[in-house]
Structure formats: structure tokens, C-alpha cells
């Protein structure tokens, strides 16, 4: 899309977070109005059916770009097969001090330590209700930074209750590197307790709403094979419906020497691609085929998406690739499937 090349050349001259906010404000404004044609594109149908849901194509928007669900209509018009909004927390929170988002253009990468800046789950619910999007919507939930770790499970339950009726699936984010202690939920007893509680909550909500909403858990790429295997065992034990692999990495070797390489936070884009694909492969070996994987991390081309699908993902998501290549990337991936 030539328009996107122009937009990008202007936005990339500005601070990364400023550009992000500016673009989202424009998308929120035009998404539901007559100017929506500016971002709209029609994408060929390449349907995928998993967990009783029919995805018109397997390319989704990854969590974190539209945390508050302000641009659902605009992203829907771009032809994504599904959207994931959030991460949202029970109470609004400001996130970390700025600057907290950095472009590593030579590496087609970003580093961020946003820290779940979001308007809170009630604001997200309001925005979803106001949107006219009728495609598949995932809602990604987390815990507030100031909620003690021992009470973190309650934050996930609060969010689950509030979003359940609006979600096609819910993602439990335990892999952001920017909320202290969050990644501890990925292992051992803490993981067991979280999954046991959330599975019980899902059952309770299924009865109350007469609707089954699948639960996905999103994990980090910074895991050993053994850690991935024991995570997968917990997923099987607690009958979690699916896994999203992966979030950003804290590893920096691929960008060593870059002026931003030492910034704290999660690295995304091309440098996380292989680690993320490896985690998908390990998961696929350890999970029965009824438990789908959504592959995300460093998809910047149709070939990258094919690698994720070949590794065992049923669907893919993009974030950093979307920043670098715009909506055209959705079309490229789908057309090349």
C-alpha cells in the first residue's frame, strides 16, 4: 500500500510512542466514519476453523497495539482474520515513565517497556460495545502493577468476569517482561494455581452466560525446552484451550551494538522470530492437536508466517511487522498461503 509508505516515512521521523498515539488517534477517528475507505481492504477468504470458531483468514492483530479497543472498527476494516485487544487490567494505570518505546529500524525491531498502560477493563468494555466490528475478537487480560503478586490471580478473574460475554476468546498474559514478577506465573505451583483458578472461573462463567469462551495463555520466548514442556503439561492438565507463542524477548544478542540495545524491556520484530518459532515447535511436540497454537513474533513477511504455520501454529498474529509494513502485510500473508 503506497499510502502506508508515505505515512511511515513521516511517522518514522517522530518519536516512536508519539507516532503510535498519533496513528491510533487517527484510526479511532476514521474507523467508524465515511473515511474508513482509506484503511479498508478486502482480503481473500482463507478460512481456518479451530475451537468452534471460524476465522476468515489466519492473520490476526497481536495484543498491545490497541490496548483499549479504540480502533477496533479501523483494524477490522483492514481485513485481519481476527483482532486481539488489551492487555487490559482491572484498574486504569499509567505504565512506565517515558521514553518507553524505541525503534531499531536497521533490525526491523522495537523495544518497549510500556508496562500495561491502559484505561482499565471498564473502558475497554465500553469501547467494544460501541464498535460495529462483528469479526473474531480476542481480549487479552493482565494484572495491575500494584496488585501484590499473591493476589494477582484475582486480577485475572476480575477481568475475565467483565469481558467474558464480549470475547470470542480470552488471553491470559503472563509473559510481559514489563510488569515485575509477571513471568513467574509461567512456572511451577504459581502456574498450577493460576490455571486451576481460571479454569474454574471459566466453568462458572460458561454456566452463567450459556456460552463457552476458550482460554489462551500467552508465553515468553525466553524459555528452555524443559520449561516449555512443563508449561505444556500444565496446559494439558488444566484443559486450557490454546497457547499464544510468543511475547517479546529480553534477549539482546541479535541487536548488540545498537544505540537502543541496552534499553530495558521486550524486544520484538525480526530478532525474536527464530526463538518464537522454536517455542512453537516445542509446544507442538508436547500438546495434542486439539490444543491450537497462535504463532506470533517477528513475522515481517509471508514466508515468516509460513514458517510459524509449518512449526505447528494454526493462526498467526503481527505487531512489529504491521508497524514496518502496514496493512499490506496482512494481504501479502493471506495471498501467499
Ligand X SMILES: Cc1cc2nc3c(=O)[nH]c(=O)nc-3n(C[C@H](O)[C@H](O)[C@H](O)COP(=O)(O)O)c2cc1C
Instruction: Give the footprint of ligand X on this chain (CB under 6 A).
Output: 62-64, 67, 87, 101, 110, 112, 114, 116, 140, 173, 176, 218, 247-248, 268-269, 272, 296-299, 318-321
Per the annotation, the verdict on 176 as an active-site residue is yes
118 marked among binding-site residues = no
Helix H, strand E, coil C: the string for the chain is CHHHHHHHHHHCCCCHHHHHHHHHHHHHHHHCCHHHHHCCCCCCCCCEEECCEEECCCEEECCCCCCCCCCHHHHHHCCCCEEEEEEECCCCECCCCCCCEEEEHHHCEEEECCCCCECCHHHHHHHHHHCCCCCEEEEEECCCCCCCHHHHHHHHHHHHHHHHHHCCEEEEECCCCCCCCHHHHHCHHHHHHHHHHHHHHHHHHHHHHCCCCCEEEEECCCCCHHHHHHHHHHHHHCCCCEEEECCCECCCHHHCCCCCCCCCCEEEEHHHHHHHHHHHHHHHHHCCCCCCEEEECCCCCHHHHHHHHHHCCCEEEECHHHHHHCCHHHHHHHHCC
In whole angstroms, how close is the CB of 7 to ligand X at the nearest point?
Answer: 18
Position closest to ligand X via CB: 64
In whole angstroms, how close is the CB of 97 to ligand X at the nearest point?
Answer: 15
C-beta of 110 vs 136, nearer to ligand X = 110
Closest CA to 51 of 195, 167, 186: 167
C-beta of 8 vs 36, nearer to ligand X = 8
115 marked among binding-site residues = yes
25 marked among binding-site residues = no
Q: How far apart are CA 205 and CA 250, in angstroms?
A: 35
C-beta of 105 vs 237, nearer to ligand X = 105
112 marked among binding-site residues = yes
- Active-site option among 19, 176, 276, 314: 176
C-beta of 132 vs 279, nearer to ligand X = 279
127 marked among binding-site residues = no
140 marked among binding-site residues = yes
C-beta of 64 vs 79, nearer to ligand X = 64
C-beta of 21 vs 335, nearer to ligand X = 21
In whole angstroms, how close is the CB of 132 to ligand X at the nearest point?
Answer: 24
113 marked among binding-site residues = yes
In whole angstroms, how close is the CB of 269 to ligand X at the nearest point?
Answer: 5
248 marked among binding-site residues = yes
In whole angstroms, how close is the CB of 140 to ligand X at the nearest point?
Answer: 5
Asked if residues 136 and 55 have their Cβ atoms less than 8 Å apart, the reply is yes
In whole angstroms, how close is the CB of 147 to ligand X at the nearest point?
Answer: 16
Q: Which of left, alpha, beta for 230 (phi over 0: left; psi -120 to 50: alpha)?
A: alpha
Q: Which of left, alpha, beta for 67 (phi over 0: left; psi -120 to 50: alpha)?
A: alpha
Could you list the residues known to form a binding site for substrate, using ranges: 67, 112-116, 173, 178, 247-248
Could you list the residues known to form a binding site, using ranges: 63-67, 87, 112-116, 140, 173, 178, 218, 246-248, 269, 298, 319-320
Could you list the residues known to form a binding site for FMN, using ranges: 63-67, 87, 140, 173, 218, 246, 269, 298, 319-320
Annotated catalytic residues are 176
Amino acid at each position: 500500500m503506497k499510502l502506508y509508505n508515505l505515512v511511515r516515512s513521516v511517522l518514522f521521523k517522530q518519536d516512536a510512542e508519539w507516532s503510535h498515539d498519533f496513528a491510533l488517534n487517527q484510526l479511532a477517528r476514521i474507523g467508524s466514519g465515511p473515511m474508513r475507505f482509506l484503511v479498508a481492504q478486502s482480503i481473500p477468504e482463507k478460512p481456518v476453523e479451530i475451537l468452534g470458531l471460524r476465522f476468515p483468514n489466519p492473520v490476526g492483530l497481536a495484543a498491545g497495539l490497541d490496548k483499549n479497543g479504540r480502533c477496533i472498527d479501523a483494524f477490522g476494516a483492514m481485513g485481519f482474520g481476527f483482532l486481539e485487544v488489551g492487555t487490559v487490567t482491572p484498574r486504569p494505570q499509567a505504565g512506565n515513565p517515558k521514553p518507553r518505546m524505541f525503534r531499531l529500524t536497521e533490525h526491523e525491531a522495537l523495544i518497549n517497556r510500556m508496562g500495561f498502560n491502559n484505561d482499565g477493563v471498564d473502558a475497554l468494555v465500553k469501547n467494544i460495545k460501541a464498535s460495529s466490528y462483528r469479526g473474531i475478537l480476542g481480549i487479552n487480560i493482565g494484572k495491575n502493577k500494584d496488585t501484590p503478586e499473591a493476589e494477582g490471580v484475582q486480577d485475572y478473574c476480575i477481568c475475565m468476569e467483565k469481558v467474558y460475554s464480549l470475547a470470542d476468546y480470552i488471553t491470559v498474559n503472563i509473559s510481559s517482561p514489563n510488569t515485575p514478577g509477571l513471568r513467574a506465573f509461567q512456572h511451577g505451583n504459581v502456574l498450577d494455581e493460576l490455571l486451576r483458578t481460571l479454569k474454574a472461573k471459566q466453568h462458572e462463567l460458561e454456566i452463567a452466560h450459556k456460552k463457552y469462551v476458550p482460554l489462551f495463555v500467552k508465553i515468553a520466548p525466553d524459555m528452555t525446552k524443559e520449561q516449555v514442556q512443563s508449561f505444556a503439561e500444565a496446559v494439558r492438565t488444566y484443559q486450557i484451550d490454546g497457547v499464544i507463542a510468543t511475547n517479546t524477548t529480553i534477549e539482546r544478542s541479535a541487536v548488540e551494538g545498537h544505540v537502543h540495545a541496552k534499553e530495558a524491556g521486550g524486544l520484538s520484530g525480526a530478532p525474536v522470530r527464530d526463538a518464537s518459532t522454536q517455542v512453537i515447535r516445542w509446544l507442538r511436540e508436547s500438546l495434542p492437536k486439539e490444543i491450537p497454537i497462535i504463532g506470533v513474533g517477528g513475522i515481517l513477511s509471508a514466508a515468516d508466517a509460513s514458517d510459524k504455520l509449518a512449526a505447528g501454529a494454526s493462526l498467526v498474529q503481527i505487531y512489529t511487522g504491521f508497524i514496518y509494513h502496514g496493512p499490506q502485510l496482512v494481504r501479502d500473508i493471506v495471498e501467499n498461503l
